Structure 1
Amino acid sequence: MDKMKNIQKAEVLALKDLVNYQPGQVVSKTLVQNDAVSITVFSFDKGEEISTHESGGDALVTCLDGVGRLTIDGKPYELHQGESIVMPAKHPHAVYGLEQFKMLLVVVF
């Protein structure tokens, strides 16, 4: 099983500092990717999005900074810093930066 990458070990850090905002872009940094789990940190510039798609695993999203809108099965949810939501496996979902927005995504397969 793969180990964590792109992150310092045995060091206190802020996950939101692992990715920077880039004008007009969605930026991501993968920390773990294997058959059981995927952990990725994202930043969205205001107005940027990941369009509707489905995942093979349940996806826990935690807002690290800013405000994002997640749409699950066509229903919008607003997420603020410190809040989390689970996007169920095999349900259509999308993510949009209402403001600049950073999130931690943990997908369990």
Structure 2
Amino acid sequence: MVEWKQEESGKPDKKREELKGKVIRLPDLVEYADGTVASRMVINRKCGSITIFSFDEDEGLSEHTAPFDAVVTILDGECEVWVAGKIYQMKTGETIIFPAGVPHALSAITKFKMSLVMIKEGDDGRK
């Protein structure tokens, strides 16, 4: 299991900049890597981020909480997700919202890829 740590950087990244204005396939942005989790940040702003992950079979993210809601969409493969003690099996095309402050984790059943969208600021005044 990998511990989740969100990258904090306001600096422009050449690899992210070259994605702008082009049609892209999110699953193609990160390759599978044997025995590990790989990721590629697509957008990273003060207000939120979009990151694409690939997980080898039996890899995952250990239980953690986040101060903001996070939207996870499975782009390829299957995984098991834990949210507040409930277990869900997810597959390609399915989405779940991890509520802010609620413990969650995930683990690959097969190799899988996901997108993670985190919105850090909103109309409710939270930052």
TM-score (norm. length: structure 1): 0.91
- Aligned residue pairs, count: 109
Name the residue aligned to 2:26: 15
| CA offsets 1:50-103 (integer angstroms, 9 cap, x no match) | 100001110000000000111101211111111101000010000111100100
Name the residue aligned to 1:26: 37
Name the residue aligned to 2:102: 91
Distance 1:81 1:9 in 2: 25
Matched residues, percent identical? 39
Which of 90, 108, 111 in structure 2 is aligned with 1:100? 111
Q: Computing the radius of gyration over CA atoms, which structure comes out larger, 1 or 2?
A: 2
1 or 2, which has the higher strand percentage? 1
Cα RMSD after superposing both structures: 1.8
**Which structure 2 segments of 5+ residues have no match?**
1-9, 121-127
Q: Which moved more, 1:34-43 or 1:4-13?
A: 4-13
Q: Which amino acid aligns with 1:25?
A: T
**Which structure 1 segments of 5+ residues have no match?**
none
Q: Which amino acid aligns with 1:16?
A: P
